[in-house]
Structure 1
């Protein structure tokens, strides 16, 4: 279980860093072409938007794996023991339902609906943007299952529970 979490963590870290470096490069190219060459790049803004969507979806998945997502802790802070554990596992179960219904099911529907549409500036199917939803949803679901197992076994989740 720890090996799966470590592999997912490392893969997402590397992927997000690569996306971010690509974004910096594309944004720099846009500035150079616009202000130095006086001939702005036509596709850099569209590519930045594409990369930002993918970076955001993968970062959301990574943060959910660390249980670093925004949450109201008013009730959880006053609970202890098995009731707190039940609340935490219930929150993870709600995340699983949300990821399965919105990210995966909705993402697959959006991807299928946009497969024949072309992103004009990049000349790629729009589905390449929307496929980030089911990918992120799958990763979130895996992380939530791992979190439930860790919570059930009283294993600290690295990143959040050690604070």
Structure 2
């Protein structure tokens, strides 16, 4: 389980870092071409928009998998024992349900409905942009399942230590 998590972590970190570096280079080229060469690049702005969508969705999946997402912990921080475990499991199950129905199911519909439409500046199907939803949804589901297994393992460890 830990090896799978590490592989997913490293893959997302690599892709996000690579995308960010490419975006920095592209934005720099946009500035140079506009202000120094007086010939603005039309492709770079569209590429940056698409890259930002993919980077954001992958980063959201990564942060959700690390359980570092924004959350209100006013009540859950006061829970202990089985109530804390139930709260953590409920949170992960809600992530799974949201990811399956909204991100994966809805994302595939959005991507398939827009595959025939071309993104004018890049000349690629708009569906490729919407594919970031089901891809990040699948990653969130994988992370949430791993997190559920970890919660169960921790509860078993605590129970065995108490007896």
What TM-score results when the alignment is normalised by the length of structure 1? 0.94
Could you say which residue in structure 1 is the equivalent of 2:112?
112
Could you say which residue in structure 2 is the equivalent of 1:85?
85
Could you say which residue in structure 2 is the equivalent of 1:141?
141
Runs in 1 of length 4+ with deviation above 4 angstroms? none
Could you say which residue in structure 1 is the equivalent of 2:158?
none
Highest CA radius of gyration, 1 or 2?
Answer: 2
Shift of 1:72: 1.1
Shift of 1:75: 1.3
Q: Where do residues 1-163 of structure 1 align in structure 2 (5 Å cutoff)? A: 1-154=1-154
Shift of 1:78: 0.9
Point out where structure 1 has 5 or more consecutive residues left out of the alignment: 156-163
Point out where structure 2 has 5 or more consecutive residues left out of the alignment: 156-163
Distance 1:72 1:38 in 2: 49
Shift of 1:26: 0.5
**3-state SS, counterpart of residue 84 of structure 1:** helix
**Which digits, 9 at most, give the CA deviation of each residue in 1:79-103, with x for residues without a partner?**
1011101110010000000000111
Distance 2:14 2:127 in 1: 23
Q: Whose helix fraction is larger, Structure 1's or Structure 2's?
A: 2
**Which digits, 9 at most, give the CA deviation of each residue in 1:18-60, with x for residues without a partner?**
0000100100000010011000001111000000000000000
Distance 1:6 1:134 in 2: 21
Could you say which residue in structure 1 is the equivalent of 2:159?
none
Shift of 1:152: 1.1
Count of residue pairs brought into register by the alignment: 155
Distance 1:65 1:133 in 2: 15
Shift of 1:4: 0.3
Distance 1:95 1:54 in 2: 19
Distance 2:11 2:2 in 1: 14
What TM-score results when the alignment is normalised by the length of structure 2? 0.94
